[in-house]
């Protein structure tokens, strides 16, 4: 085990949870802390906000308490940050000018149609028109049009990871993986701001572009004392979370294909062609930390998994329950959340032996619901990977909670065969591991630990799984 000298403090903010992970120079976790995320209060500087915002103030309070308790005198060399996408922060003369919009807010009214009418085509920006505020340019469009006085106070826009980098360092920056994450602000093929962002004057307001691995500077002295951090700690620019996860594997292969699971399940196929992506089904062009366009598809797998479990313990998912599920004819037909995914507009149903069950997931025996949720997520994941990968034969690597789910692994291995399926068994989640590596980029060596090949199920079971998937993803007759 390495000592804590040269440690990296990783701040990993997902939509559901925020994490602090202290990782030493050898890649081992020395300490961690976590809190649940919630939307912020509607009051801001004495006024009521007309939108749902992210809970930035609560996170700042948590960081001020959690970092000193986590560090406890250990030497921290650098801070590396990764956050979820579709979030931008407006900075003014005295700090945060407006709290960031929560992408699950959907109060855009007629402005949604105006935005859709004037924004660039998908072929230019790689961004589909998504529900709620998931096409993040819509958030800025709405703020510019509906809050013009507040807009005039904005000095600079920064993506969410770079807000936290600014909070630590006082230095503003932007970065491509967040700018290119279904925002309509970026043209992945051109490697520059989109025509729409330039015409609206939005591009001019973004802080200077810096690579994710760049060092912005040290922690602001007063904040360093408050957080019990050394004077020489270095703050990196930071990145979008799924792209931090992908960066780990780009160290190994330029054609890395990664399935990142969590609140969102995101398939990213580096090196595959971007032509032919279907924006109507939440396929998009992401931008890797190195600026390369990456075909991407996704669905809200974590939320759908929870909906299908309907309170049942996810640990009940095993091969025995999978076999019983298949024998009894239980099927989940998409989709069980309305936020994005390949089945936007379809309402999920559960059937048995071809008959719809009005009770939905609750019709399924408790012991079988986690297997059904796991199988369903594997079926949709396989579809995404097949749609975006083209002719790629690269290994598929599963990251996140579903990497440890035996039913998900069995089903996805069967559905992708003969393509090889691997999983990360690294005790550090891929987003945090990627952020740790970005603190050492571009000289980071590939992190080889914890990548296991998953075996395919026996042919009879594999055939049952493939037949089930064909029925689950075809809603004819239901």
- Render pLDDT for 188-234 as a digit per residue (tens, 0 to 9): 999 999 999 999 999 999 999 999 999 999 999 999 999 999 989 99
pLDDT at residue 1, rounded to an integer: 35
pLDDT in tens, 73-86: 888 999 999 999 99
Residue 445 binned pLDDT confidence (cut-offs 50, 70, 90): low
Average pLDDT, the chain: 94
Q: Please give the average per-residue pLDDT across 172-181, as a whole number.
A: 97
pLDDT of 401 over the 70 cut: yes
Q: Please give the average per-residue pLDDT across 144-151, as a whole number.
A: 97
Residue 442 binned pLDDT confidence (cut-offs 50, 70, 90): confident
pLDDT of 38 over the 80 cut: yes
pLDDT at residue 160, rounded to an integer: 98
pLDDT at residue 149, rounded to an integer: 95
Domain 7-237 of CATH type 3.40.980.10: no
Residue 2 binned pLDDT confidence (cut-offs 50, 70, 90): very low
pLDDT at residue 449, rounded to an integer: 67
Residue 390 binned pLDDT confidence (cut-offs 50, 70, 90): confident
- SS3 for the chain is CCCCCCEEEEEEECCCEEEEEEECCCCCEEEEEEEECCECCCEECCEECCCCEECHHHHHHHHHHHHHHHHCCCCEEEEEEEECCCCEEEEECCEEEECCECCCCCCCCCHHHHHHHHCCCHHHHCCCCCCCCCCCHHHHHHHHHHCHHHHHCCCEEEEHHHHHHHHHHCCCCECHHHHCCCCCCEECCCCEECHHHHHCCCHHHECCECCCCCEEEECCHHHHHHHCCCCCCEEECCEEHHHHHHHHHHCCCCCCEEEECCCCEEEEECCCCCCCCCHHHCEEEEECCCCCEEEEEEECHHHHHHHHHCCCCHHHCCHHHHHHHHHHCEEEECCCCCCCCCCCCCCCEEEECCEECCCHHHHCCHHHHHHHHHHHHHHHHHHHHHHHCCCCCCCEEEECHHHHCHHHHHHHHHHHCCCCEEEECCCCCHHHHHHHHHCCCCCCCCCCCCEEECCCCCHHHHHHHHHHHHHHCCCCCC
Domains 7-237 and 250-478 belong to one CATH topology:
yes
Residue 444 binned pLDDT confidence (cut-offs 50, 70, 90): low
pLDDT at residue 450, rounded to an integer: 75
Q: Please give the average per-residue pLDDT across 153-173, as a whole number.
A: 98
pLDDT at residue 478, rounded to an integer: 56
pLDDT at residue 73, rounded to an integer: 82
pLDDT at residue 302, rounded to an integer: 96
pLDDT at residue 238, rounded to an integer: 98
pLDDT of 3 over the 50 cut: no
- List the domain boundaries for the chain: 7-237, 250-478
Q: Phi-psi category of 360—alpha, beta or left, where left has phi over 0 and alpha has psi -120 to 50? A: left
What is 250-478's CATH number? 3.30.420.40
pLDDT at residue 362, rounded to an integer: 98
Q: Please give the average per-residue pLDDT across 377-381, as a whole number.
A: 98
As a whole-number percent, the residues of the chain with pLDDT over 70 amount to 97
pLDDT in tens, 243-285: 999 998 887 788 889 999 988 999 999 999 999 999 999 999 9
Q: Please give the average per-residue pLDDT across 146-172, as a whole number.
A: 97
pLDDT at residue 419, rounded to an integer: 95
Q: Please give the average per-residue pLDDT across 312-327, as a whole number.
A: 98
Q: Please give the average per-residue pLDDT across 124-135, as a whole number.
A: 95
Higher pLDDT, 255 or 70: 70
As a whole-number percent, the residues of the chain with pLDDT over 90 amount to 85
Q: Please give the average per-residue pLDDT across 353-375, as a whole number.
A: 97
């Amino acid at each position: 085990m390495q000592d804590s000298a040269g440690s990296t403090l990783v701040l990993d903010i997902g939509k559901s949870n925020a994490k602090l992970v202290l990782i030493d120079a050898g890649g081992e976790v020395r300490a961690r802390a976590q809190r649940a995320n919630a939307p912020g209060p509607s009051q801001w500087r004495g006024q009521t906000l007309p939108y749902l915002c992210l809970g930035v103030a609560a996170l700042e309070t948590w960081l001020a308490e959690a970092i000193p308790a986590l560090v406890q005198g250990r030497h921290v060399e650098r801070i590396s940050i990764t956050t979820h996408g579709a979030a931008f922060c407006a900075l003014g003369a005295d700090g945060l000018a407006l709290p960031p919009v929560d992408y699950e807010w959907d109060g855009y009214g007629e402005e949604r149609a105006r935005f859709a009418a004037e924004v660039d085509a998908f072929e230019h920006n790689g961004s589909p028109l998504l529900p709620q505020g998931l096409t993040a340019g819509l958030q800025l469009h709405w703020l510019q049009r509906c809050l013009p006085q507040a807009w005039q106070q904005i000095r600079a826009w920064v993506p969410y990871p770079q807000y936290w980098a600014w909070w630590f360092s006082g230095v503003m920056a932007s970065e491509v993986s967040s700018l290119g994450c279904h925002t309509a602000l970026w043209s992945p093929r051109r490697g520059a701001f989109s025509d729409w962002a330039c015409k609206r004057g939005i591009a001019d307001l973004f802080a200077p572009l810096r690579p994710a691995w760049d060092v912005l500077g040290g922690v602001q002295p007063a904040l360093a004392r408050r957080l019990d951090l050394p004077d020489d700690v270095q703050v990196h620019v930071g990145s979008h979370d799924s792209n931090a996860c992908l960066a780990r594997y780009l160290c190994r292969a330029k054609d890395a294909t990664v399935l990142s699971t969590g609140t969102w399940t995101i398939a990213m196929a580096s090196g595959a062609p971007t032509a032919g992506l279907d924006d109507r089904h939440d396929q998009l062009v992401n931008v890797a930390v190195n600026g390369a366009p990456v075909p991407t598809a996704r669905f809200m797998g974590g939320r759908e998994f929870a909906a299908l479990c309907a309170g049942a313990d996810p640990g009940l998912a095993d091969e025995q329950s999978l076999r019983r599920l298949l024998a009894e004819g239980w099927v989940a037909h998409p989709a069980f959340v309305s936020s994005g995914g390949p089945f936007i507009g379809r309402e999920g149903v559960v059937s048995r032996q071809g008959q719809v069950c009005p009770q939905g997931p609750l019709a399924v025996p408790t012991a079988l619901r986690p297997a059904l949720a796991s199988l369903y997520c594997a079926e949709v994941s396989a579809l995404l990977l097949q749609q975006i990968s083209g002719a790629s034969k690269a290994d598929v690597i599963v990251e996140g909670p579903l990497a440890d789910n035996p039913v998900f692994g069995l089903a996805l291995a069967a559905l992708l065969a003969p393509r090889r399926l691997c999983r990360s068994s690294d005790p550090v989640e891929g987003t945090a591991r990627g952020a740790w590596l970005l603190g050492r980029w571009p000289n980071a060596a590939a992190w080889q630990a914890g990548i296991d090949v998953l075996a395919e199920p026996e042919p009879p079971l594999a055939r049952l799984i493939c037949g089930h998937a064909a029925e689950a993803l075809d809603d004819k007759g239901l």
